């Protein structure tokens, strides 16, 4: 276990992800919740800050570091984030292949597995549009985000690694590393907890 922890810390260090990823979650929350006050208790929120690659290791091939936050309900979604696409075999290096932002365009599926307080485990699938800083928009990319709640024993079955899978037309998919590198979280409003308590009474 100690060796695994060292390897994970080294991955974060080499990729420039670590305490900054943890610190970014409160900022994500403010963005995603800003316009949700009147949307009802069935809306879910998503947050992630992670790396995925075309190879099984960070240094084995092309990798994407990606952040995102937003909210969704039934058939609607809004949200987005940023990304950097780079060659992991050349790190550390300031070179990159592509960089920019992304925007959610369509909710494809959400499979909710379970809840733990306001936290939600599940699998979210989106159609997204990539918006490179230098170049045309890339449409019809697909993003799958997986959140397991391991402390509560709520995980995907069959098991899927926590993180994101990005599928871009013309490229091999970017899949989560094992162990995963980054953070993902789905949440629900406190009002749902109040409703559950009333039902129990």
pLDDT digits (tens, 9 = 90+) for 31-46: 444 445 445 568 999 9
Residue 74: per-residue pLDDT:
85
Mean pLDDT on 134-148: 97
- Report pLDDT for 23: 45
Tokens at 31, concatenated: 């963005």
Output the pLDDT for position 49: 98
Q: For residue 129, is pLDDT > 90?
A: yes
Q: Which whole number is the average pLDDT over 154-180?
A: 97
Instruction: Report pLDDT for 124.
Output: 98
Which pLDDT value is given to residue 191? 81
Report the chain's mean pLDDT, rounded to a whole number: 84
Name, in order, each residue with C-beta under 8 angstroms of 34's C-beta and a sequence gap of 6 or more: none
For 95, 109, 124, 142, 176, the CA distances from 162, given in Å and listed in that order, are 27, 17, 11, 16, 7
Domain that holds residue 80: 2-200
Q: Above 80 in pLDDT, residue 18? A: no
Q: Any alpha helices (H) in the chain, and if so which ranges?
A: 2-15, 19-33, 190-200
Please state the domain count of the chain: 1
Q: For residue 126, give both structure tokens.
A: 């989106």
Q: Are 123 and 110 in contact (CB under 8 A)?
A: yes
Question: Cα(186)–Cα(172) distance, rounded to whole angstroms?
Answer: 27
- Helix or strand (DSSP H, E) at 130: strand 119-132
199 or 18, higher pLDDT: 199
Q: What is the pLDDT of residues 57-75, one digit of tens each?
A: 999 999 999 999 999 998 8
Statement: the pTM of the whole predicted model exceeds 0.75: yes
pLDDT of residue 75: 86
pLDDT at 115: 97
- Do residues 96 and 64 lie in contact, with contact meaning Cβ atoms separated by under 8 Å? no
Does the pLDDT at position 27 exceed 50?
no
What pLDDT is recorded for position 3? 38
Average pLDDT over residues 103-111: 98
Paired residues of 112 in beta bridges: 122
The neighbouring-strand residues paired with 44 are 72
Q: Is the pLDDT at 127 greater than 80, yes or no?
A: yes
Distance between CA atoms of residues 163 and 175, nearest Å? 8
């Amino acid at each position: 276990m100690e060796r695994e922890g060292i390897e994970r810390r080294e991955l974060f260090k080499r990729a420039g992800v670590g305490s900054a990823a943890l610190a970014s979650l409160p900022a994500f929350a403010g963005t995603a919740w800003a316009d949700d006050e009147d949307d009802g208790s069935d809306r879910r929120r998503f947050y992630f800050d992670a790396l995925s690659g075309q190879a099984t290791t960070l240094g084995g091939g092309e990798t994407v570091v990606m952040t995102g936050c937003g909210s969704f309900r039934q058939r609607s979604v809004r949200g987005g984030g940023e990304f950097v696409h780079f060659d992991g075999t050349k790190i550390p290096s300031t070179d990159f292949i592509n960089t920019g932002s992304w925007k959610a365009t369509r909710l494809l599926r959400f499979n909710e597995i379970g809840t733990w307080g306001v936290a939600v485990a599940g699998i979210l699938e989106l159609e997204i549009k990539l918006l490179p800083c230098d170049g045309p928009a890339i449409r019809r990319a697909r993003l799958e985000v997986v959140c397991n709640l391991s402390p509560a024993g709520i995980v995907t079955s069959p098991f899927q690694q926590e993180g994101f899978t990005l599928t871009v037309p013309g490229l091999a998919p970017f899949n989560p590393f094992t162990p995963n590198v980054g953070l993902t979280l789905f949440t629900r409003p406190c009002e749902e907890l109040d409703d559950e308590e009333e039902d129990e009474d």
